[in-house]
Amino acid sequence: MNSFSALLKRIDLAAALSFLLPLLVYLLTLAPSVTFFDSGEFVTAIASLGSAHSPGYPLFISYAKPFTWLPFGNVAFRVNFATAISAAAACYGVYLLVNHLLEGEESPAPLLRKGAALGGALAFGFTPRLWLQSNHDKPYPLVAFIVALVFYLLFLWRERYREGDERPGYVYLGAFLCGLAFGAHQTIILFLPAYAWLLLSLNWRLVTRIKEMLLMLFFGLLGFSVYLHIPIRASQKPLLNWGDASTLSQFLWHFLRRGYPVEKPPRDLALLWDQINAYSVPHEFTWLGMALMLMGMALFFRRRRDEVVAYGIGLLFFLLIIVGYFNTPSEMIFLTEEFFTPLYLYSAVFMGLGLFALLRGGCSRLPAGIRSGAPLYTGLLLLCLALPATLCARNYYENDQHENFIAFDYASNTLRTLPQGTALFTWGDSGAFPLWYLQGVERMREDLALLHTPHLVFPWYLDGFPELFARSVLRTAPLETMNPDNVLLVAISEQMGKRPIFVDFSTRYSVTFSEFILQQWGICYRLEPQRKGVTYPPELSGWRNYTLRGLYGDEMPFRDLDTGKAILIYGNSALEEGEQLLRLGMISQGMEALGRAVLIAPELTSAAQRVQLQTGGRRQ
């Protein structure tokens, strides 16, 4: 009992809370299954220890894999839980850095340093960006945590170096972690100049130490060797084997992101401003948080100049690469917002310093008799938690995904209602990845062939469907010069008559199918050869078998871009079905479909009214 009590006394309660409080909130808002964007692909890759889209994310996949063995929830939920753990660890990283930077600072209240560190950690934890990444599978929180660890190691090294006690092991471990972090996301490279500044600003002659530099490079490459996961597993043909990086040339193609060529748009001032605003401290932390960050930088600049300059260097390189080099189109800027998560972590560190300076100044003006004791500590704790509590209340509703079954239901509705042996062609990633997860991991409808149209131009992707493409003309065609639309039409023509052919909603409205008749099946379409005078009314059985959780009104608070698109796909599919039925004289069924469209997507009300007027639906 005495040893247990001694152990409890050694526990830093504030440090524990910096991890446990965010984790508790993340678990309350955790998505219960697969979500949109890259979720289904990541979970499928993790479950099979395969490779996700370029550049593969081997560290994130290896980190999350053990969580798939947990005895509760589905596999996607377990991976979401893994992400929540890494996000809470990133919050602890803020606490670790703030608490360390404040060591030795005089304070009227002994607990003020820990309270300020806790306030900075929780403020970061409840930002909309990290919170959104915490409650479903994302690699960015893991990168942020590693970024914090590397900063901490460099801070330790700098202290020992000033004392004349060089500890190169700190630097070698930091280099290893940097190499390892490449396997979670390549944005770690944007912090390397800031790390180099923290090393060389103490003594620029360190760069001439060839042995130490080579050892640092060695440990960095040792961490980077996590990428060997990709070719090794590719040779085993896992369930998800994006890029099939089993050869050196294919590995380089995969690692260098050659699978996603992007034509950069002409940049004007409006686009540049939108790109820069992808990084917004006031949006994440409020203007109060921004003021605390600037206060921390200003008041600690003399004592922590190099740490402050490192922030500026990091910000410069993030903007130069993400804004300057990437030159992201306006409709894709929301994706680059995720890359700034590690920079927000470092911003929160200076907020913790600013909070400490503000509260210390207030305490110093109090009478000496009340500078300690429970009332003061309680008041300081409340002040430290004021900003995090505000952020939590402000962002809770829109980040609450605990009832977000939209992606799961979208995929299961599609799979459950297709005929046996169907080949389904999809278009957008969000429309395809949940299907991959349900079929590959949850083993739903393994009789179907799920074909992703943008990938049909890659020979390695065709290799994954030998039954469909072993003797296809696409095996000898110059795929790299062909448009995905044309490749899709060739693939459909070859499979027509052999199996039912379906396309999803996005494919239906991305490609012109002039040689085929499209019969609507709920949110999908069956393709048939053109026959003069032949029409196919909508198949009505699909809607009766659909699960529509969270689609009506305000049932589900969380609405990201692709969740909103999925809801609109349901609404527009019902609208289109209603119009077809009314034109065929099926008045009651048509009006029911229009009513369903309006219930799902109220913004379609005026469109439904126009359909009624044009088709005579009001005559019923």
CA geometry: angle at 525 spanning 567 and 559, to 5°?
A: 10
Q: Say whether pLDDT at 480 is over 80.
A: no
Which residue in this structure is represented by tokens 């006031």? 282
Q: Say whether pLDDT at 547 is over 70.
A: yes
* Position 10 in a domain: yes
Which among 102, 83, 66 is positioned nearest to 144, based on CA atoms?
Answer: 83
Q: Say whether pLDDT at 206 is over 60.
A: yes
DSSP state of 66: G
* Position 593 in a domain: no
DSSP state of 325: I
Residue 104's pLDDT is 78
Q: Which residue has the higher pLDDT, 140 or 549?
A: 140
Q: Which residue has the higher pLDDT, 329 or 117?
A: 117
* Position 147 in a domain: yes
Residue 223's pLDDT is 95
* Position 141 in a domain: yes
Q: Say whether pLDDT at 270 is over 80.
A: yes
| Inter-residue contact 528 to 519 (CB < 8 Å) | yes
Report d(CA 221, CA 619) in Å as an integer: 74
Residue 2's pLDDT is 59
Residue 336's pLDDT is 87
What's the mean pLDDT in 86-101? 96
Radius of gyration of the chain (CA): 28
Residue 429's pLDDT is 82
Which residue in this structure is represented by tokens 């396309």? 503
* Position 149 in a domain: yes
Tens of pLDDT, residues 209-255: 899 999 999 999 999 999 999 999 999 989 898 888 888 888 888 88
For residue 373, the enclosing domain spans: 2-397
Q: Say whether pLDDT at 367 is over 60.
A: no
CA geometry: angle at 537 spanning 532 and 539, to 5°?
A: 135
* Position 533 in a domain: no
Confidence bin at 34 (pLDDT 50/70/90): very high
The C-alpha torsion from 349 through 350 and 355 to 357, rounded to 10°, is 130
What's the mean pLDDT in 329-346? 89
* Position 507 in a domain: no
Report d(CA 474, CA 342) in Å as an integer: 43
The residue type of 438 is: L
Q: Say whether pLDDT at 535 is over 90.
A: no
* Position 43 in a domain: yes
Q: Which residue has the higher pLDDT, 108 or 118?
A: 118
Instruction: List, as one string, the DSSP characters of 599-610.
Output: HH-GGGHHHHHH
Residue 361's pLDDT is 77
Contacts of 295 (CB under 8 A, 6+ apart): 353, 354, 357, 358
What would the two tokens of residue 553 be?
């009104």
Number of H helices, E strands in the chain: 29, 5
Q: What are the distances in angstroms from CA 63 to CA 46, 122, 181?
A: 9, 24, 11
Of 22-26, 370-374, 593-597, the poorest mean pLDDT is in: 370-374
What would the two tokens of residue 486 be?
């044309």
Q: In what order do the strands lie in the sheet with 524-529?
A: 449-452, 423-426, 501-504, 524-529, 516-521
Residue 249's pLDDT is 87
Confidence bin at 122 (pLDDT 50/70/90): very high
| Inter-residue contact 77 to 30 (CB < 8 Å) | yes
The half-sphere exposure of 131 on its side-chain side, counting CA atoms within 13 A, is 32
Total domains present in the chain: 1
Residue 530's pLDDT is 81
DSSP state of 496: B
Phi, psi of 425 (to 5 degrees): -100, 125
Report d(CA 233, CA 241) in Å as an integer: 8
The residue type of 171 is: V
% of the chain surpassing 70 pLDDT: 93
Confidence bin at 477 (pLDDT 50/70/90): confident
Which residue in this structure is represented by tokens 């030795």? 104
Mapped onto helix, strand or coil, the DSSP state of residue 421 is coil
Confidence bin at 620 (pLDDT 50/70/90): very low
Q: Which residue has the higher pLDDT, 18 or 336?
A: 18
Report d(CA 308, CA 301) in Å as an integer: 6
What's the mean pLDDT in 564-576? 90
Residue 355's pLDDT is 92
Q: Say whether pLDDT at 619 is over 80.
A: no
Mean model confidence pLDDT for the chain = 88
| Inter-residue contact 561 to 132 (CB < 8 Å) | no
The strand ranges marked E within 32-130 are: none
Report d(CA 355, CA 65) in Å as an integer: 38
Confidence bin at 377 (pLDDT 50/70/90): low
What would the two tokens of residue 614 be?
């044009």
Residue 69's pLDDT is 96
CA geometry: angle at 391 spanning 389 and 394, to 5°?
A: 110
Tens of pLDDT, residues 274-330: 889 999 999 999 999 999 999 999 999 999 999 999 999 999 999 999 988 888 888
What would the two tokens of residue 454 be?
């943008």
Residue 265's pLDDT is 80
Mapped onto helix, strand or coil, the DSSP state of residue 520 is strand
Confidence bin at 555 (pLDDT 50/70/90): low
